Structure 1
Amino acid sequence: MENLQIDQHISRQFNADLEHLREHLLEMGGLVEEQVADAVRAIETADSGLAEKVLRTEEDIDSLEVSLDEECTLVLARRQPAASDLRLVLMVTKANRDLERMGDEADKIARMAIALNDAGGAISPRGFVELRHIANSVQALVNQALDAFARYDVQTAMKVVKGDTLVDRDYGSAMRELMTYMMEDPRSITRVMNIIWALRSLERIGDHARNIAEHVIYLVHAMDVRHTSVGEIEAQLEEHGHKPS
C-alpha cells in the first residue's frame, strides 16, 4: 500500500463525504465485476436467462453512475477540495465513467449470448477457448484495478497496466485465428462473429480496467500517465522513488 494520506479535516462531514465517495465507487465496482462474470458465463453456456439478468443489472449500474456523479459534484461545490482530496474526487469521477462503460460492454456480451442461443447455442466450440482465456485475464484485471484503488496500491495498478498489454496481444492473436477459420468455413460466420464481438467487448473492459489503474497512479503520485507506455510509466515512477516490480 502506498503512503497516500487523504487529509483529515475539522469537518467530520467532509471526511465522511470523501469516504462515501470511495465506498460507493467500490460498491459499483463490485456490481460491475458480477455483471461481467455473469455475461461471460451466459455466453459460454448459451444461458439466455442469465444474459437477461445482466441486461436488467445494467439499469442499476446506470443509476449508480448518475448518483455518484451527483455526489462528486456536491463535494466539489461545497468543500472545494485541494491536493490529494481533489485528486480523489476527480479520480472517482473518471473511474465511475469507466465502470459504467464496463457495464455497457457486459451488456453487449449478454446480447451476444442471446444471439448465440437463438442461432442454436454453442454448436461450434470454435472461439470458446480464446473467449475463456481472455475473459479470465480481463476479470482478473478488473478485480486488481479495484483492489489497487481500495488500497491506493501503485504496484497492483502497474500489474493491471502490464496485464492489459498482454490482453491486447492475446486479443489480436484470437482475431487472426477466428478470421482465418471463418474464411475456411463460411457456414460458421454467424456464430463466430458473435464470439468476435464478445471478445471485442472483453478487450474494451480490459482497457477500462487499465484506465482505473492509471487513475490510481494519478491519485497517489499526481502523475498523469494516460497514453503512456509501460516503460515510460515505470521510468516516471522511479523518479518518484517507486521501484516497479
Structure 2
Amino acid sequence: MLEHTNKLFHAELETTRSLFLQMGGLVESMVLDSMRALTEGQLQWVDRVRAHEKQVNQFEVDIDERIGQLIARNQPTAVDLRLLLSISKMLTDMERCGDEAEKIAKVARRLHEADSAYEPVVELRHMADAVASMIRAALDAFAREDPVAAAQVVRNDKDVDKEWKATLRHIITYMIEDPRTISRSIDLIFIARALERIGDHAKNMAERVIYMVRGDDVRHTGVSNTERLARGEPAQPRD
C-alpha cells in the first residue's frame, strides 16, 4: 500500500512539473508575441497574448492547488518538498512575466491606434529576445535540474539591466531633442521597463532552481557566489 501511495505521489509530482513547464512555454510565447504586436502593428498578436494570459492565470490556480494537496496528503521528503516549494515560488514569477507581456501588448495596441505610421524610437526586440531566452533557459535548467545553467540565467540578467539603462538614456535623449515624441517615448520606456522586470522574474526562477537542486538560497549573494554555489563550491565572503 505504501509503495502504491509513493508511486501515486511521484506521478502527481511529475504532472505538476509538466504543467509548470507548459505554463512557462505559454509565457515565453506571450513575451515574443507582445513584441510582434509592437513591431508589426497586427492586433491579432494582442488578442493572442490576452487569450494566453487567461490560460496562464488558470495554470497558476490549478498548479497552486495541486501543490497544496500534495503537501497536505503526503509527507514529502526534504528533496520533494524543496521541489514543491520551488515550483510554488516560481509560479508567482511566471505569472508576473505573463502580466508584463500583456501590458506590453496593450501599450503596443495603443501606440499603433494612435499613429498608423508608428516607428519605434529604439530597438527593443533584442531585449525582448534576451528575456524570452532567459525564461526558456530557466525552464530548461528546472527540467534538467541543472544549477550551473540556472546560474548563467542569473548572470544574463546583468546584461538585460545594462540594456534597460542604455535604452532609457537613448529615449530620454530623443525626447529632449524632439518634445513632440514625449508621449510615444514614455510608452516605450514603459515597455522597456516591463521587459527588464521579466528578466528579473526569470532570474528569480533560476535562483529557485539552484535552491531546489543544491538546497542553497543564493538570493542576495552576488553573481559570482551564485555560480560557486551552483557548482557545489563554498561561497566567498563579500566585500
Q: Please, which of 105, 115, 120 is the counterpart of residue 110 of structure 1? A: 105
- For residues 84-136 of structure 1, what are the alpha-carbon distances to aligned partners after superposition, in whole Å with 9 as ceiling and x for unaligned? 10000001101111110010000100011111111214523311x2x011111
Assess if the C-alpha contact under 8 Å between 2:160 and 2:199 holds in 1.
yes
Secondary structure of the corresponding residue to residue 209 of structure 1: helix
Assess if the C-alpha contact under 8 Å between 1:105 and 1:202 holds in 2.
yes
Alignment root-mean-square deviation, CA: 1.8
Assess if the C-alpha contact under 8 Å between 1:119 and 1:191 holds in 2.
no
1:32-47 equivalent positions in 2, closer than 5 A: 32-47=27-42
Assess if the C-alpha contact under 8 Å between 1:58 and 1:107 holds in 2.
yes
Match of 2:157 in 1: 164
Code of the aligned partner of 1:185: D
Match of 1:59 in 2: 54
Q: Are residue 120 (structure 1) and residue 120 (structure 2) matched?
A: no
Q: Are residue 30 (structure 1) and residue 25 (structure 2) matched?
A: yes
Shift of residue 55, structure 1, vs aligned partner: 1.4
Match of 1:229 in 2: 222
Shift of residue 161, structure 1, vs aligned partner: 0.5
Output the CA distance in 2 between the equivalents of 1:79 and 1:196.
Answer: 47
Code of the aligned partner of 1:13: L
Unaligned runs of 5+ in 2: none
- For residues 44-76 of structure 1, what are the alpha-carbon distances to aligned partners after superposition, in whole Å with 9 as ceiling and x for unaligned? 112222112211221111111001000000001
Match of 1:83 in 2: 78
Assess if the C-alpha contact under 8 Å between 2:112 and 2:118 holds in 1.
no
Code of the aligned partner of 1:101: R
Shift of residue 10, structure 1, vs aligned partner: 6.1
Runs of 4+ with deviation above 6 angstroms? none
Assess if the C-alpha contact under 8 Å between 1:45 and 1:122 holds in 2.
no
- For residues 18-65 of structure 1, what are the alpha-carbon distances to aligned partners after superposition, in whole Å with 9 as ceiling and x for unaligned? 111111100111111111111111111122221122112211111110
Output the CA distance in 2 between the equivalents of 1:88 and 1:69.
Answer: 13
Q: Are residue 181 (structure 1) and residue 174 (structure 2) matched?
A: yes
Shift of residue 177, structure 1, vs aligned partner: 1.1
Shift of residue 231, structure 1, vs aligned partner: 1.5
- For residues 180-238 of structure 1, what are the alpha-carbon distances to aligned partners after superposition, in whole Å with 9 as ceiling and x for unaligned? 11111111112222211111111111111111110110011000011221022234345
Match of 1:154 in 2: 147
Output the CA distance in 2 between the equivalents of 1:225 and 1:29.
Answer: 22
Match of 2:64 in 1: 69
Assess if the C-alpha contact under 8 Å between 2:148 and 2:231 holds in 1.
no
Output the CA distance in 1 between the equivalents of 2:94 and 2:226.
Answer: 23
Secondary structure of the corresponding residue to residue 11 of structure 1: helix
Code of the aligned partner of 1:81: P
Match of 2:192 in 1: 199
Match of 1:5 in 2: none
Assess if the C-alpha contact under 8 Å between 2:82 and 2:212 holds in 1.
yes
Assess if the C-alpha contact under 8 Å between 1:47 and 1:113 holds in 2.
no
Output the CA distance in 1 between the equivalents of 2:234 and 2:110.
Answer: 51
